[in-house]
Structure 1
């Protein structure tokens, strides 16, 4: 029997980054190719890898002859590192937008997003990554674009490597657009500016972009990391590789391809596409049928059309923020009750809510509605008692299983790439309350593509009752509701649930075969 070739995936364990890796690994197994897959990440990712293996065993019993081997890395993830108070990133995200002064605070800290680990941590993780590479001896290495130690190792060890990213085309295409379009046409990441950019906001956009580039070019932490890596490895020519060196600020390494979980028809319009970038379409993980995962939830959803609220794995809400959402839902439900459409009068809410406990709470359990959380429950008490509204901290089923159940008529989310893509492939209209960085761009995209509404333009980075309530009613009850539904279904027809990961898997195998 021929010895299988080895593919090594290197990624951070954060859900947004790991998802495309796990989805594509499943798709590679589904091809039945003679390959052995290895995934290296922080230790906390091992359960997700094991879940992927179990799912493959059930869904691909004949096409998955090889297991996925996990290699643990000691250290914290990209998002964990970026979230530390000393980076100032999270504090800058809390500032109201759009606002030049507030957005500038994030631009000044953008280098922490590109490389959030401290220089000694980069060396520690890099050393472990190199050890894993030598142990696995991969025929191809696939790297997460935010995992700086892995990018640096793949480049400096002269591996055959490629990048697999949840990123959008915009991240890499904007610098190549003619007529300095980066300054006036496309909103700067993290700015919360609309698209198209009104003429009077162009100076703000241009100034923010210049501030961001200046931050990246003058960052001393990256220079320190490079110096420490050179000392540790003895390689005086070693170069640190970050997202900036993949075509965002500087030209990408020759020959490296970037496979993106995005499609041209879902992104901003561009005159020029980077030659090293290949859009694969939305990449989502395969999901079991909801009835096979949580039959009780599937039965409950079937009672009426349901609004599904999930603000992602990272965004925790305070009591006052949760109250604004419940007040918006109160307005939606009251309006739906007066509708001539029978289904709207049966409207249900499923809200997976991650709480941010207050300092004075004596009971911080997710089921407690005492203290500052009491008003949240009281606002929807009638519907909660009637089991038309469920607010829970945990749902066993994956978002894809829920969205593809056929019972969800609107997905309310934070504008993360995975949440956007999961709703797109399910053909579900979207209401977005973007929380940070690139999430604002997805607010623009859903409106540009006619599949939803950005519901927090005035209240970013959070939301408020009237604006959110009006957005929900526009998507679900207004004269435009049918247009949102039809457009969402039309786009879903162009992007089947499996298509993105299948294309990424095919391209990875093609790169593996190439010389």
Structure 2
């Protein structure tokens, strides 16, 4: 097979692949010009290939790395895999690259200089920190700034950097992370077609493809935390939120300034992230969702539901045998609130009291607290008995992957912030979950978890804060009684669907299929 280049661009990571003898980018489509690939060249994963050690937990946009290394593991003749992102993501890439067999050509990483999105958002004026915000309130005002956290000069500089990488690699196939607007603009400037890899729930990815009446009268707008389907009493609020978001986007100085700079640079159309929830018939969209974890929606033909895109992980008994032995002692609730979450003393106290109040006296609590060393007084105050001090384990980091911990039979519930990684990992493990939503899409995911019968929206009354009483009640629903029994049964059914969907192997199959189409 001639050499084929695959290239994926992501706000946190970009991926490319090359293949010799094929004319890159001859048209804006994904047509590979050259010999047709043989079935054995582009077919099944190679079972004897070593899969790299999985990266440590991080943003959902680590998925491009997984798809890239899955493609690499298939040893397709002539296939080159390239990834590009901001330098901060190189460490994750290098961890996985280290597992490539000696003598093999590993995927190639390209640095894109500039300010990553999360760092840019940390400079915005959101009133409760760089990420957390109450549902609807405050976020409407900050929405456009949240979506455009760069100055016009910074934005165009990253577009230019990305364009240079694309021209240097000259890939045959490009996938773009859904949040990497610079890459979309770069592709459009260069008249190169691209496809999209999104971590969002599929119903959110194609929200703008749904009939307008359904969008406004049945679906809660992302960031509101309102239930699905919308009750009549909340439809006016949903409509008001829709109009308000448009109003603030149109009046946003950062967004208007960036659009002026984009137009001057020659970038066509509106800011790409304004189409974040629209599926174009001209490109392929890969998501890690399955219908069973989502709200109902009409699926466009170019939107693919692959199931959770996750790495193979070392078993808990191999990765952290001491923790495995501790979990063997009895039922345990696991709590992790994402990569970017720290606690102050009042919040840590409310969470700890809520956890203790939501389970019986024998249930263990395993809690990731990144700044645990600063909160000793809280634990001393709340954990007053030897039994409680023994059954509550608060750690700054896990040596094992969260997915490996979730697989332990004694983990009966997962408390998390509603991020896509956590939501999908828990669904794949078949465990009930309690979602303490914090921002934008996590509110939507919390609503989806309740609708799908997989868990409880555990801070509905006070998000993004946490009430000890509300958390206790949510935990009781998820771990005891008839509600918990129904959730366990439903979670088990959904876990089967997640595994059947194919995950990273299915995502890689889609990429290979697109490469094969170009070779036809």
TM-score, length of structure 1 as denominator length: 0.85
Q: Which residue of 1 aligns with 2:126?
A: 88
Please identify, of 239-248 and 69-78, the stretch whose mean Cα deviation from structure 2 is larger.
239-248
**Is structure 2 residue 90 aligned with structure 1 residue 46?**
yes
Match of 1:352 among 364, 368, 373: 368
Determine the structure 2 residue equivalent to 1:214.
247
The DSSP-based 3-state class of the residue aligned with 2:474 is helix
What is the rounded CA distance, in whole Å, between the counterparts of 2:199 and 2:224 in structure 1?
Answer: 20
- Number of aligned residues: 473
Query: Gaps (5+ residues) in structure 1?
Result: 98-102, 338-344, 356-365
d(CA) in 2 for partners of 1:384, 1:505: 48
Structure 2 residue corresponding to 1:259, chosen from 278, 286, 289: 286
Give, in whole Å, the separation in 2 of the partners of 1:332 and 1:218. Answer: 45
Equivalent residue, structure 1, for 2:109: 70
Post-superposition shift, 1:394?
Answer: 1.2
CA distance in 2, matches of 1:207, 1:70: 45
Find the counterpart in structure 1 of residue 11 from structure 2. Answer: 12
Look up the SS of the partner of 1:461 in the other structure.
coil
Instruction: Tell whether the 8 Å contact from 1:19 to 1:285 is kept in structure 2 after alignment.
Output: no
User: CA shift at 1:378, angstroms?
Assistant: 2.6
1:34-433 pair list within 5 angstroms: 34=77, 35-55=79-99, 57=100, 65-84=104-123, 86-88=124-126, 90=128, 96-97=134-135, 103-178=136-211, 180-229=213-262, 231=264, 236=266, 238-239=268-269, 241-246=271-276, 248=278, 252=280, 255-270=282-297, 272-333=298-359, 336-337=360-361, 345=362, 347-355=363-371, 366-370=372-376, 374-382=377-385, 387-433=390-436
* Partners of 1:161 and 1:502 in 2: CA distance: 20
The partner residue of 1:493 within 475, 492, 496 is 496
Task: Work out whether residues 434 and 475 of structure 2, in 8 Å CA contact, stay in contact via their aligned partners in 1.
Answer: yes
Larger deviation, residues 375-384 vs 467-476: 375-384
Query: Is 219-228 or 447-456 further displaced after alignment?
Result: 219-228
Deviations 1:188-237 (A, max 9, x none): 11112122222111111110011112333444434433443454x5xx46
Distance 1:393 1:65, change over 3 A: same
Q: Helix, strand or coil for the counterpart of 2:492?
A: helix
CA shift, 1:246, in A, is 5.0
- Structure 1 residue corresponding to 2:477, chosen from 474, 479, 496: 474
Is the alpha carbon distance of 1:116 and 1:237 closer, same or farther for their aligned partners in structure 2, counting shifts above 3 Å? closer
Q: How far apart, in 1, do the equivalents of 2:387 and 2:7 lie?
A: 47
Segment drifting more, 419-428 vs 197-206? 197-206
Q: Is the 8 A contact 1:189 1:441 kept in 2?
A: yes
Offset at 1:180? 1.1
